[in-house]
Structure 1
Amino acid sequence: MAKDRGKLPRVAWFLAGLAVSGGGACGPRVAPDRPFPEEAVVHRERAPGTVKAGAGRQVVVGELCPQSAAGRPAIAPLLMHTTQWIDTASEITSAIERGATPRFVAFGVDGKVAGVFNTVGLADIALGQSVAAGTYIGGVPCTSDAGQGQRTEDPRCAAATSGCGVAVAELTRPDDPPETPAFPTGGACVSGDAIGVDIDGDGAVEWFPLAQALDGIRGPAQEWAATQTARPACTPAFVVYGVKLEPEAAAGKPPDPRAVVTLDLLGVIDLDGDGRKELVIALRFPTVRTVVVYSAASSPQRLELVGEAQSFQK
């Protein structure tokens, strides 16, 4: 009979290794500043996300930063999917503390797995902030596979994310041996005033107007509907950085810089296993950075906001 080992220990200090995979070859490493926002996210009440047919994968989504816990790798837990999407921090950290996320895979800028993070427990790095502590083996997230064990650094990633990237763990029983999960990935690109992505892999690109990414109070829109007007073709990529979302300006005046939000697409991944890709997006506001996930709950033509969270804090 399997035995539950109980909660993993909370650790105030931990050892974490950062090695580059592949025959001892050395790839570029980033020593980023911490991407710490200055304000807490105020969660608005949302109805539970629609459970899609076949959407049975249970995961925790986080952001891996190589040096954000006293100079060592750690993962900020962001969202969790069980029977629905959850962005309540206490529920997500509880799953990590129980040992339900023994291994995260971290993605590079090319959508391939850059490395694996083996969870040891929780570490408190700031007041009210607990992160997954452990050991990381692989290349840093702001790199892509260059072949023969080499990795190529993407300077746009370091500038936008301070060297951090998406990491995902599959929820398991605490006494099960860790496995390295695989997740289908995709790509997106910006053409004109819309971002295009093939949500369901049918070869047809859905185009989502950038002007509708934010709501009337400049927060992430609860729903994001595709337009029926096609845009000129562009080359999709797993990540897209530095998309400026500017408010409509008064006649003859430039947009208010305090209202400009920068959108960084951190990844296009089928997280919940339903065959439709989710969009993991960072929104850089003037004083805060949040990470949101959009999912096509009922149709590839309509994205729904299923969660919003902060990454590393001060």
Structure 2
Amino acid sequence: MRVAYQEVIQTLEEILFKNGFSEDRARLCAFLFAKASLEGVASHGLDRFPVFLEMIRKNLVHPDAESSLLDSYGVFERWNGNLGPGPLNAHQCMDRAIHLSKEFGVGIVALQNTNHWMRAGNYGWQAAEAGCIAICFTNTKPNMPAWGGSEPRLGNNPLVIAIPRSKGHVVLDMAMSQFSYGKLKTYLREGKDMPFDAGFDMNGNLTKSPESVISNELALPIGLWKGAGLSLLLDMLATILSGGNPTFQVGESGEESGLSQVFICLDAEKLGIMDWSDQKLDQIIGDLKSSLTFGDKEIRYPGENNMKTSEENMQNGVTVDDKIWKSIIEEL
């Protein structure tokens, strides 16, 4: 079904206000959830909203808790999320990284003791729209095996890289697993198998079954052993820079809470790359687009369809699963 964007915003805002958010914080949090679905990432937008409310009820997310500054070293700051809402903590820390980069050329913010930031790409777009190159990443609970392992020890630790560009920002938003768990749950709800191998079953065989992967928490690392290695290093960096929990400690409670995250920004103007940035990016994308393809395949760069999808959903209404929207409306 489709729901008008403003109706989505107003509905989520009202529900969040009822659940202990101030008006301003409810408005921003509602916007971040709605933005994800507006731009075609429902798996980490409206699909996740009922899960977010459940985390509040379990006292894993504290609606009134705000992140606080722990340490400041010029271009680098360390913050404590105080188990506040993950999307609000991430938005605030990306904003700080942007401001630091505007002052120093580079800004780095590490965040401990936070919660799931929902759609990771939101914070890449936030930076790109401010004229900043951005890299940000988070750890998660254990939901992916070490290469050759038979139990979840690594997180699928999402990574975002964003580059501002006049003709359309380039924003890569990816987990270290072949499919995010949000996408796996979307396919499971629709009764579909994944289009490619998504993880391992209990016998160590590759499977396209989302149910099997979710129940075992044995998602397939991207690039096989390479993705497993990258996941480990992202967890290490997030942990040592923030002073927060590594993946294995996040998993000890059985819940995904108390995560560690990093936000890095480079201001294009401050670093003197504005004169050639767009030209070189356009050349790279032009070369990419000129690639021959198999059949009628289309070559796209990360984030290319963002504007088109957003405009379509703004005009026709945001696409949302009937059952998900019903469960959201029941919270009013």
For normalisation by structure 2, the TM-score amounts to 0.23
Q: Which structure has more helix as a fraction of its residues? A: 2
For normalisation by structure 1, the TM-score amounts to 0.24
